[in-house]
Amino acid sequence: MLQSAVDIDIRKNPSGRLQQVDFDNLTFGEVFSDHMLTIDYRDKTWKRPVIEPYGPLPLSPATKFLHYGQGVFEGLKAFRYAGGKINIFRLDEHYRRMKRSCERMIIPLPDEELFLETIKVLVDLDRDWVPEDKFKSLYIRPFIFGTDESLGMRESQNYKYIVITSPVGNYYKEGIKPVKLTTMPEFVRATPGGAGEAKVPGNYASSLYPGARAFEQGYTQVLWLDAIERRYVEEVGTSNIFFVIEDKLVTPDLSGSILPGITRKSILELAERWSMPVEERKVAIDELFDLHKQGKLTEVFGSGTAAVVSPVGVIHHEGQKIELGQDKMGPIAQKFYDAITGIHHGEIKDEAGWCHLV
């Protein structure tokens, strides 16, 4: 087992469930590995981390998070290299983003060493749960929430930080086939000054209703527009968005209401390495329709930890459609997909120190 500088109370699961898992038919986030990690925050200090069998939590019905949603989560992945090593992708970047989210929600977070080390030990303990298959991974979900038994509307004094892991395949049922998006100009995901750039449950909860309406109309996800002018593209339900416009890679700039995706950052860093022209700027929905008519918008794709790189085939907006005529990934999306999944699985050299091996 991995030796760690952090003192962890490890209580192994005596009845592992690995043999019951059908790794050929994984639905995203529905199967959980044998162990989970918990660290409690009380009296302004983080207590000893515990790794124990995955299972239900005893919670008071007055737990503050259940009422006011003071919580934050992350999503990252571990991949298996051919030789058996496990790569936790951009673990440190995920820590940095979780820290920023916690600051916005006035939540304490374990320090970086505690975060990194405990996740490595947890993943190592359940390393047989990391799928062999190239297009699968172990999704890691750290989350933290206020546990005060109180309905008082102020920040919690006590917190639980938990990490669970789940073997996953493709996020969308379409696999890596193009998805269909629609704008929903009557709804917004996040407002300037709100918590749109933090990874907080409320952002996802409030997107469920518009998401369900989009689904009824035959679309996979909502393409969110900005809250003020309802004109500038922000992101997709579970990912950031990229456009290929006359061989330039264009993506909405991080305006404060957009989630700063780690896959988005990886794509931008790869584009820079490849000297590909990039623009991070406001992208108006009407501009996209004009560019498409002129034949200048050639590819659209989403990026996210869960979604990786997912091509977009259709964008619907107020009765009009951009049909990209793609029945598979376009060449630029494919180039990023191959590079990122190659680095994930150790087939392409990790030049930038993105891989944390256990």
* Binders of ligand COI in range 235-254 (CB under 6 A): 238
As measured in angstroms, the least distance from the Cβ of 348 to ligand COI is 21
Nearer to ligand COI, 90 or 317 (CB): 90
* Binders of ligand COI in range 48-87 (CB under 6 A): 75
Classify residue 208 by burial, with Cβ atoms within 10 Å: 0-12, 13-18, 19+.
Answer: exposed
Q: Compute the CA torsion angle 93, 98, 103, 107 (nearest 10 deg).
A: -150
The site for ligand COI, by CB under 6 A, has a size of 6
As measured in angstroms, the least distance from the Cβ of 75 to ligand COI is 2
- Here the tokens at position 74 are 């992350």
As measured in angstroms, the least distance from the Cβ of 339 to ligand COI is 18
Q: How many residues does this entry show for the chain?
A: 358
Segment interacting with ligand COI, rule: CB under 6 A, options 34-42, 100-108, 146-154, 301-309: 301-309
CB 282 within 8 A of CB 253: yes
CB 300 within 8 A of CB 311: yes
Nearer to ligand COI, 75 or 342 (CB): 75
* Binders of ligand COI in range 252-281 (CB under 6 A): none
Centre a 10 Å sphere on the Cβ of residue 275 and count the other Cβ atoms it contains: 7
Q: Does 110 bind ligand COI (CB under 6 A)?
A: no
* Binders of ligand COI in range 203-232 (CB under 6 A): 204
DSSP-assigned states of every residue in 19-43: GG--TTSPPTT----SEEEEEEEET
Segment interacting with ligand COI, rule: CB under 6 A, options 17-25, 243-251, 275-283, 302-310: 302-310
As measured in angstroms, the least distance from the Cβ of 238 to ligand COI is 4
* Rounded CA separation 300/243 (Å): 5
As measured in angstroms, the least distance from the Cβ of 344 to ligand COI is 14
* Rounded CA separation 337/11 (Å): 38
Q: Does 283 bind ligand COI (CB under 6 A)?
A: no
- Return the residue nearest ligand COI (CB atom): 75
* Rounded CA separation 323/325 (Å): 5
Q: Amino acid identity of 209?
A: Y
Q: Does 304 bind ligand COI (CB under 6 A)?
A: yes
Nearer to ligand COI, 306 or 314 (CB): 306
DSSP-assigned beta bridge partners for residue 18: none
Binder among 86, 306, 315, 329 for ligand COI (CB under 6 A): 306
Q: Amino acid identity of 179?
A: V
Nearer to ligand COI, 75 or 202 (CB): 75
Q: What is the CA radius of gyration of the chain?
A: 21
Classify residue 145 by burial, with Cβ atoms within 10 Å: 0-12, 13-18, 19+.
Answer: buried
Nearer to ligand COI, 146 or 304 (CB): 304
As measured in angstroms, the least distance from the Cβ of 84 to ligand COI is 25
Nearer to ligand COI, 288 or 340 (CB): 340
* Rounded CA separation 233/236 (Å): 9
* Rounded CA separation 211/109 (Å): 31
* Rounded CA separation 298/314 (Å): 12
As measured in angstroms, the least distance from the Cβ of 28 to ligand COI is 7
As measured in angstroms, the least distance from the Cβ of 119 to ligand COI is 14
Binder among 165, 266, 303, 305 for ligand COI (CB under 6 A): 305
Write out the residues near ligand COI by the rule CB under 6 A: 75, 204, 238, 304-306
